[in-house]
């Protein structure tokens, strides 16, 4: 059985339209006017146990709204959703016991009490057996480095400490699935790296299913096996990141270091319909080529025929550029677009 199954999942918010001033307030009171915001429209999403899925999209795309429906915070206005076979909104209590959630912008910690007491409170709420609680706390604490601030109140923690504590709380009760809404927002490189390592390890060792949203593409590249892109409430891509890159990035660039003269090399290589050579320095050239027409091996062969190649490297496609183009609608990912 799939761990998450959403069919035609839809959420429409009704925003009050108010005119400014007292007259506007009175008018709204007498005859309120609402405007529909289609935050999530007809989303189909099936996730299997143990998957790590990145749910990405531009600001306002509907990511947090989807997560709120999957965690039972919001009731969908349309479609069906099952998490662990449960209706998250109707079976909210049972769903909560079997999942974890972190909203990077908010904390689950009780603000004024020591962090350690937030943990014991959650232990009691979830009725975690004492032995399991001790083992989990030790394991999570070692991985996320919680010991230094367990005695501090949440209000005194730095953002990175707070996020690590929130993550540990989300995993404390052995949830089968964890939703992470921007778990690395505002964190420094070292803490982000630590969190990514943690997520990979817990997924590998405990098989926890992870759905995360992030604007940090390293999180996606590093942690997630699957990428779901949402834009204006609709899923526009669902597949592997590499497949998206393969489909969308048509050109590759090979940089070559030569023992011979670069200009000479370029002249000998001449013009070719599917590649373009640029002389970078006297002994360095770059060849941009259409990877649907030529392979890297073809380029090496062409290069060897034109000069002495000492070393070469190929640029990886720039994920940032591809995702940005997807967001901006510049790529027709349905039929395999182009990005340069």
Using CB under 6 A, list all residues that contact ligand ATP.
13, 15, 37, 39, 57, 59-65
Residue 307 interface partner, choices Mg ion, ligand ATP, none, CB cut-off 5-8 Å depending on type: none
- 52-56 and 275-281 as β-strands: parallel, antiparallel, unpaired? unpaired
64 contributes a contact to Mg ion by CB under 5 A? yes
Query: At its nearest, how many Å lie between Mg ion and the CB of residue 62?
Result: 9
Contacts for 132 with CB less than 8 Å, ≥ 6 apart: 174
Radius of gyration of the chain measured on its C-alpha atoms = 25
Q: How far apart are the first and last CA of the chain?
A: 41
The residue (of 66 and 118) whose beta carbon lies closer to Mg ion is: 66
Q: Which stretch binds Mg ion (CB under 5 A): 8-16, 57-65, 118-126, 319-327?
A: 57-65
State how far the Cα of 281 lies from the Cα of 239, in Å rounded to an integer.
40
Q: Which is nearer to ligand ATP, 13 or 89 (CB)?
A: 13
96 binds Mg ion, rule: CB under 5 A = no
Nearer to Mg ion, 27 or 215 (CB): 215
Q: How far is the CB of 215 from ligand ATP (least distance, A)?
A: 7
Number of residues that bind Mg ion (CB under 5 A): 2
Would you say 325 and 339 are in contact if contact means Cβ atoms under 8 Å apart?
A: yes
Q: Which is nearer to Mg ion, 106 or 131 (CB)?
A: 106
Taking the complex as a whole, how short is the minimal distance between the CB of residue 310 and Mg ion, in angstroms? 49
**What is the nearest approach in angstroms of ligand ATP to the Cβ of residue 66?**
7
To the nearest whole angstrom, how small is the minimum distance from the Cβ of residue 43 to ligand ATP? 11
Could you tell me the two tokens for 146? 């919680």
For every residue of 10-58, DSSP letters joined together read EEEEEEE---SHHHHHHHHHHS--EEEEEEEEEEEEEE-TT-EEEEE-S
**Residues 42, 243, 71: CA angle, nearest 5 degrees:** 35
Among 209, 121, 211, residue whose Cα is nearest residue 165: 121
CB of 293 to ligand ATP, least distance (A): 37
Residue 180 site contact among ligand ATP, Mg ion, none (CB < 5 to 8 Å, cut-off depends on kind): none
User: Backbone phi, then psi, for 247, in 5-degree steps?
Assistant: -75, -35
**Residue 140 vs 220, nearer CB to ligand ATP:** 220
Q: What is the contact surface with Mg ion in residues (CB under 5 A)? A: 63-64
């Amino acid at each position: 059985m799939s761990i998450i199954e959403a069919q035609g999942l839809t959420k429409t918010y009704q925003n009050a339209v108010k005119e400014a001033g007292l007259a506007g307030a009175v008018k709204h009171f007498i005859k309120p006017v609402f405007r529909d915001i289609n935050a999530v429209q007809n989303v189909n999403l099936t996730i299997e146990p143990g998957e790590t899925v990145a749910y990405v999209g531009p600001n306002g795309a509907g990511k947090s709204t989807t997560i709120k429906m999957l965690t039972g915070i919001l009731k969908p206005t349309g479609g069906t959703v099952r998490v662990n076979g449960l209706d998250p909104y109707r079976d909210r209590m049972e769903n909560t016991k079997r999942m974890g959630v972190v909203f990077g912008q908010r904390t689950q910690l009780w603000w004024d009490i020591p962090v350690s007491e937030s943990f014991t409170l959650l232990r009691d709420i979830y009725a975690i057996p004492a032995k399991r609680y001790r083992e989990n706390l030790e394991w999570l604490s070692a991985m996320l480095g919680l010991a230094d601030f367990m005695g501090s109140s949440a209000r005194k923690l730095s953002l990175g400490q707070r996020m690590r504590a929130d993550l540990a709380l989300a995993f404390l009760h052995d949830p089968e699935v964890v939703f992470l809404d921007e778990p690395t927002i505002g964190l420094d490189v070292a803490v982000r790296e630590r969190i990514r390592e943690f997520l990979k390890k817990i997924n590998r060792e405990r098989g926890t299913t992870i759905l995360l949203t992030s604007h940090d593409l390293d999180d996606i590249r590093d942690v997630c096996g699957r990428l779901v892109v949402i834009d204006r409430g609709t899923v526009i891509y669902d597949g592997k990141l590499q497949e998206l890159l393969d489909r969308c990035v048509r050109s590759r660039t090979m940089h070559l270091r030569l023992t011979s003269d670069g200009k000479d090399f370029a002249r000998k290589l001449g013009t070719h319909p599917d590649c373009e050579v640029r002389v970078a320095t006297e002994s360095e050239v770059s060849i941009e080529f259409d990877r649907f027409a030529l392979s890297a091996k073809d380029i090496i062969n062409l290069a060897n025929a034109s000069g002495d190649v000492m070393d070469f490297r190929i640029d990886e496609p720039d994920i940032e550029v591809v995702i940005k183009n997807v967001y901006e609608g510049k790529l027709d990912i349905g039929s395999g677009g182009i990005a340069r």
